[in-house]
Chains A and B, each alone.
With several copies, the nearest count.
Chain A
Amino acid sequence: MIIQKLKYFLKETLRNLWQYRIRNFFSITIICLSFLIFGVFLSLSNNLHYTAQQLSKSMMIIFFLEKNLPEDQRSLVEEKLKGSSLIETFQFISPEQALEEFQNNFPELRRIIENLRVNPFPSSFEATITEENISSSETLTFIQEMKEMKGVEDIQFNRDWVEKMQSLSRLAQAVGFFLGGILVLASFFIISSVIKLNVFARKEEIVILRFVGATNTFIRIPFLMEGTILGILGGLVSLLLIFFLIKFFPLYLGASLGVFNELINFRYLSLSQIIMLIAIGAFIGFSGSLSSLARFLKV
């Protein structure tokens, strides 16, 4: 009995999808494009997130050592760094390396370096901090401790840079929650509107079904299934489109972007995002149908 009914509803749904294929084609187009917008946004935000992560990885503390520090004192500092759980990696930089690095990092200042007679750079340790501790207070107390250590002349803890990073991540979040929210909401409203228009266009059918003695559930099920399938199909097609876009966007740009290449090296959506997108499609299709059916189940 139940299996027979289920089979009927499934057949019915597929038949209706085919019967109203022109309308459904346009509906799926609209749904798919809305999801495309949503998906492009997701992908962009993935990217931003990734880039922000990469950038914060390079967050560094530089421990400048006193000039001509004896070997044993240097290894004491090294021990201390090795022992701390806050420090992810660290590296000794000799004055010669420091000079070279400076020249590489700031080619604009090459002239100035050439004017120097002596190497002004002290030797130092460059340490990176584990991500989760970047703005923790433990880091601050650790730095305080290190400062009081013998042999450590000064500590370069780039507060300014951290603040910039924090601003950036706040910006990313804001863009995410606000602009993204708008895009997402817009997509959802569009999808749900189109599903509603679909139901409206078939109100006669609903009236006739009630006329022949169908229960509301009997009437609803195919509509709900259709809405759900439209939502899912729209989602799937948009995923395909997004996939191709992400594949061909970098090709279109060429590899000529240099430093910014990383920024546009779009990552595809993660599996959970894909599932979410389809689930959202299904949900909007379902609830859109449900809510617009209500008004016709009265006569």
Chain B
Amino acid sequence: MIELHHIWKQYQPPRWALSDVTFHVKRGDFYFITGPSGSGKTTLLKMILREIIPTQGQIIVDGKNVVRIHDHKIYKLRRTIGSVFQDFRLLFHKKVFENVAIVLRVIGVSRKEIRRRVFNALRIVNLHHKMWEYPSQLSYGEQQRLAIARAVVNNPKILLADEPTGNLDPELAFEIITLFKEINKQGATVIICTHDRDLIRHFGEKILFLYKGKLIRKEAL
């Protein structure tokens, strides 16, 4: 499903954010990526979404070479991927409902269906009672949950989550990863970047360990 072939990435000349990273994620896999701060986890996820382009190397997602996709065709790729980023990327001038609904609007889902699905997604992350507020009126953990709801609302084939539980209490964190696990069971490929050892210990089957841009361990517990 996701193949990275000898990926190198350099933002600024002396340092390499990623060096020679190669791995395959098969359909239905559930991967954790971990590693110290600044080791290149976010860079990796952004590349899968083609937000940044590798300095060298090829990325194949769902059979397509991501690097070669035209600017105005990327939306096709991104519609198959649900993602939560560390900075949440919420639309602060839109209400909570609309922030989730936008994913369905862009693909033209009918209004009734939107209401149903958005409500479900918000209920799962326990935010349905704040549906008509603005993201700026949410606590930070609530904003993170909103980002999660948006990522899962369209049953994506691939789910990328970058530190999705960094602002949540352990109980909620467990619930969220359980949710991801369920989505995974329904066939989605999931990649989660996290620092939370408890979560990895509990849920981790396949773990990638990044250190200073290098993939130093691939584990299957």
Binds B, one of A89-97, A117-125, A204-212, A285-293: A204-212
- Within 8 Å CB of B111, what residues of A? 4
Contact flag A213-B107 (CB < 8 Å), given A297-B71, A297-B72, A298-B71: yes
Interchain nearest-CB distance for B143 vs A (Å): 13
Asked if A19 lies at the interface with its beta carbon under 8 angstroms from chain B, I say: yes
Asked if A248 lies at the interface with its beta carbon under 8 angstroms from chain B, I say: no
Could you tell me if A208 and B103 are in contact, using CB atoms closer than 8 angstroms? no
Asked if A271 lies at the interface with its beta carbon under 8 angstroms from chain B, I say: no
Could you tell me if B103 and A212 are in contact, using CB atoms closer than 8 angstroms? yes
Asked if A1 lies at the interface with its beta carbon under 8 angstroms from chain B, I say: yes
Asked if A16 lies at the interface with its beta carbon under 8 angstroms from chain B, I say: yes
Binds B, one of A104-112, A179-187, A214-222: A214-222
Find B91's partner among A5, A208, A213, A299 (CB 8 Å cutoff).
A208
Asked if A189 lies at the interface with its beta carbon under 8 angstroms from chain B, I say: no
Asked if B102 lies at the interface with its beta carbon under 8 angstroms from chain A, I say: yes
Asked if A8 lies at the interface with its beta carbon under 8 angstroms from chain B, I say: yes
- Within 8 Å CB of A4, what residues of B? 108, 110-111
CA distance A20 to B90 in the complex (A): 17
Could you tell me if A209 and B102 are in contact, using CB atoms closer than 8 angstroms? yes
Q: Which residues in B have some Cβ–Cβ distance to A below 8 Å?
A: 49, 51, 71-72, 74-76, 78-79, 83, 89-91, 93, 102-103, 105-108, 110-111, 150
CA distance A19 to B89 in the complex (A): 18
Find A213's partner among B75, B89, B90 (CB 8 Å cutoff).
B75
Could you tell me if B108 and A212 are in contact, using CB atoms closer than 8 angstroms? no
Q: List 6 A-B contacts (CB under 8 A).
A: A209-B91, A211-B78, A213-B107, A214-B75, A215-B106, A297-B71
Could you tell me if A211 and B49 are in contact, using CB atoms closer than 8 angstroms? yes
Could you tell me if A210 and B75 are in contact, using CB atoms closer than 8 angstroms? yes
Could you tell me if B108 and A213 are in contact, using CB atoms closer than 8 angstroms? no
- Within 8 Å CB of B110, what residues of A? 4
- Within 8 Å CB of B106, what residues of A? 209, 212-215, 218
Contact flag A299-B51 (CB < 8 Å), given A4-B110, A212-B78, A212-B103: yes
CA distance A45 to B178 in the complex (A): 73
Could you tell me if B72 and A16 are in contact, using CB atoms closer than 8 angstroms? no
Could you tell me if B103 and A213 are in contact, using CB atoms closer than 8 angstroms? yes
Could you tell me if B78 and A210 are in contact, using CB atoms closer than 8 angstroms? yes
The residue of chain A having its C-beta at the shortest distance from the C-beta of B89 within the complex is: A208
Contact flag A16-B71 (CB < 8 Å), given A212-B102, A213-B107, A215-B106: no
Contact flag A213-B93 (CB < 8 Å), given A218-B106, A298-B71: no
- Within 8 Å CB of A213, what residues of B? 75-76, 78-79, 103, 106-107
Find B89's partner among A16, A211, A298 (CB 8 Å cutoff).
A211
The residue of chain B having its C-beta at the shortest distance from the C-beta of A216 within the complex is: B72
CA distance A19 to B92 in the complex (A): 10
- Within 8 Å CB of B103, what residues of A? 212-213
CA distance A4 to B105 in the complex (A): 10
- Within 8 Å CB of B49, what residues of A? 211
Contact flag A215-B51 (CB < 8 Å), given A5-B108, A8-B105, A205-B91: no
CA distance A185 to B150 in the complex (A): 45
Interchain nearest-CB distance for B132 vs A (Å): 13
CA distance A211 to B83 in the complex (A): 9
Which of A212, A214, A215, A218 has most chain B Cβ within 10 Å? A212
CA distance A4 to B107 in the complex (A): 12
Interchain nearest-CB distance for B210 vs A (Å): 23
